[in-house]
A = this chain, B = another copy of it.
């Protein structure tokens, strides 16, 4: 007699081949805008990457992203791949990835990367209508066509081909004056370019942070580390709305648990992420408990901004992502008898483009009246 197999093949393969789990990244929306998680720079076998474009969409879905652009080099192909892969059509990465993106709800932006020796270096063209029209050997001509198509143009990894002192070359100045640079990548792979943040501040450029992935995301970033990505504060999750936000500079660069952006948006993001739980908080001479609820995927690191007279406050507070953190503060009798008091903290892992500190303020209310610390008092509450 034959044994019965556990599952029939037909049904099982259906559930097997495509069962995948998305890791949600909880980053809250801010007033008036959706907060979209975007990676605008990556490669496939259509230039010098090692995957087919659909993989980039699947990785993005799994990683909890909302928006990607596949930006294969328009004028640089790996000789090894060239033997096997026909990469003449510059729109091929977009076209071959589009339906998978639609099925998975990932917004896909048509784009490419145009290389030149340094200077000017490598440039991303995003929101292009037809990549093939950008194949002009004259760099200014190519970008002018892109501009005419409504594209957003950014200087990628500006430290490439430079020494430690990043230079804004004369060619960049010319491009900038002709409206051919709107953005700059301040973070690429695992490199940060502080000088580029300064340029963004001085010249009103939009900043981004990208994986620039060629191989596999999950081999480069382990399970506890998100790839670098760009937050876009957009009115809607549509190509046009994302484009509008990028031209308006409403982005933040997110990498290694750091966020760089305009202080206004970062402050709103913190406030939308963290709340103080309104527990019955018992003030005694000795200690008062505070619960901070961080609903976001960002670990916030706080440092006491200024001492408060009469209150022992933690110098440093770590608010882990998606966690409730219990801290203890120590008001003296005078403060404990006030209706409320305030404390200001600097959020260390939020960096404003302008260089100013991001300061947040908490108000602690006198909510409890039990006068003595439980471990010190002689009488216990009556057993009811």
Q: A interface vs B, CB < 8 Å?
A: 2-24, 45, 50-52, 54-55, 58-59, 61-62, 78-81, 83-87, 91-92, 94-96, 98-100, 102-105, 110, 129-131, 157, 159-167, 189-195, 198, 214-216, 218-220, 222-223, 277, 279-282, 287, 289, 291, 304, 312-318, 320, 322-330, 370, 374-376, 380-381, 383-384
24 residue pairs A–B, Cβ–Cβ below 8 Å? A3-B195, A5-B165, A6-B194, A8-B159, A14-B313, A15-B317, A16-B189, A16-B191, A17-B215, A51-B55, A61-B326, A62-B219, A79-B375, A79-B376, A80-B374, A83-B86, A98-B374, A98-B381, A102-B370, A103-B374, A104-B326, A110-B383, A130-B383, A131-B383
Provided the pairs A80-B375, A215-B55, A312-B14 are in contact, do residues A9 and B162 lie with their beta carbons within 8 angstroms?
yes
CB of B51 within 8 A of CB of A50, answer yes
Q: A325: which of B19, B78, B370 is its contact (CB, 8 Å)?
A: B19
Q: Contacts A9-B161, A16-B220 given; 8 further ones with Cβ under 8 A?
A: A11-B314, A14-B313, A15-B316, A19-B220, A21-B324, A22-B291, A99-B282, A105-B277
Inter-chain CA distance A15–B91, complex, in Å, is: 32
Tell me, rounded to whole Å, the shortest Cβ–Cβ distance linking A24 to chain B.
Answer: 7
Q: A216: which of B59, B79, B316, B323 is its contact (CB, 8 Å)?
A: B59
| Least CB separation from A80: chain B residue | B375
CB of A129 within 8 A of CB of B198, answer no
For A20, list chain B residues within 8 Å (CB).
Answer: 219-220, 325-326
For A323, list chain B residues within 8 Å (CB).
Answer: 21-24
For A52, list chain B residues within 8 Å (CB).
Answer: 45, 50-51, 81
Inter-chain CA distance A46–B47, complex, in Å, is: 17
Q: A98: which of B61, B163, B165, B380 is its contact (CB, 8 Å)?
A: B380
| Least CB separation from A11: chain B residue | B315
Inter-chain CA distance A291–B50, complex, in Å, is: 22
Provided the pairs A103-B289, A314-B15, A324-B21 are in contact, do residues A193 and B5 lie with their beta carbons within 8 angstroms?
yes
Provided the pairs A5-B194, A9-B160 are in contact, do residues A326 and B19 lie with their beta carbons within 8 angstroms?
yes
Inter-chain CA distance A16–B221, complex, in Å, is: 10
| Least CB separation from A19: chain B residue | B327
CB of A316 within 8 A of CB of B7, answer yes
CB of B376 within 8 A of CB of A280, answer no
7 nearest A-B residue pairs (beta carbon): A15-B314, A99-B374, A22-B324, A9-B159, A18-B328, A95-B380, A80-B375
Q: A315: which of B15, B92, B100 is its contact (CB, 8 Å)?
A: B15
| Least CB separation from A322: chain B residue | B24
| Least CB separation from A379: chain B residue | B95
Inter-chain CA distance A92–B85, complex, in Å, is: 12
Tell me, rounded to whole Å, the shortest Cβ–Cβ distance linking A198 to chain B.
Answer: 6
CB of A78 within 8 A of CB of B12, answer no
Inter-chain CA distance A117–B148, complex, in Å, is: 53
Provided the pairs A58-B219, A315-B15 are in contact, do residues A4 and B165 lie with their beta carbons within 8 angstroms?
yes
